[in-house]
Amino acid sequence: MGKVWFVGAGPGDPDLLTVKGRRLIESAGAILYAGSLVDRAATRYAPAGCIVRDSSDMTLEEIAAWLIEQVARGIDVVRLQTGDPTLYGALAEMGRALDAAGVAWAVVPGVSSAMASAAAACETLTLPEVTQTVILTRVEGRTPMPPGEDLESLAAHRSTLCIYLSITLLHEVQRALRAAGWAEDAPIVVVQKASWPGEEKIVRGTLADIKRRCQEEKIGSQAMIIASPALGARHWKEVAHSKLYDPGFSHRFRSVQEGAL
């Protein structure tokens, strides 16, 4: 029996696959990719004769059965998932089915859309003395949020929020941030299809107008919402510098420079 590899395909650009992920695709006997979210271009590295299947029309049970069926043929199988498999990827559910069938499996991380969106917008998610915390979350929809994880409660920390799977509930994002005390002029960035060649859209706005701006750009799916007090920092007159690079800060690779203190 072969092995199942859950590989993070990254945010969209096939070049953002990890080296290890690409190597596994190049040697795979079968690949099951999430076609509704993963560009088929990510499978271009598959070898001749490799079985490539789109899972967009399959249920979770059908996906697990397909993986088990293929790996039983003695081949390594790649389950290619958007972003990183450990984040909103039904990894535990599929892993349980594979465990029950005695199938060996492992995970290869991928670039998440939160990081890809920040990179596309040339923004930092953390900034000294502004925010040192990043919260990855979503708004409650058909999937309920556990107690204490509603967006209003998380937004009260006033740290960076990377909000997944919620662009159709942008009005709820606005409501939660307002209830948590965020100002109407708080900056928000929305990135649709971050890194997708020719399809990426970046919309900048404020808590007050971001929904309207997204409607004008017809953004209604596959978008990351970033709300952060650090947004736009490169345009500020002054920012606090990282102590790591301060000449008066010593560490095992550098001593304090004379006269720096």
Give residue 241's pLDDT.
76
- Domain assignment of residue 257, yes or no: no
- Domain assignment of residue 76, yes or no: yes
pLDDT tens digits, residue range 103-160?
A: 999 999 999 999 999 999 999 999 999 999 999 999 998 888 999 999 999 999 999 9
Domain containing 202 equals 113-235
Question: Distances in Å between the alpha carbon of 85 and those of 37, 41, 43, 194, 224?
Answer: 13, 18, 16, 17, 17
What's this model's pTM, rounded to 2 decimal places?
0.89
Identify the domain boundary among 77, 108, 139.
Answer: 108
Listed residue (198, 201, 118) closest to 161, CA to CA? 118
Please tell me whether residues 85 and 135 are part of one structural domain: no
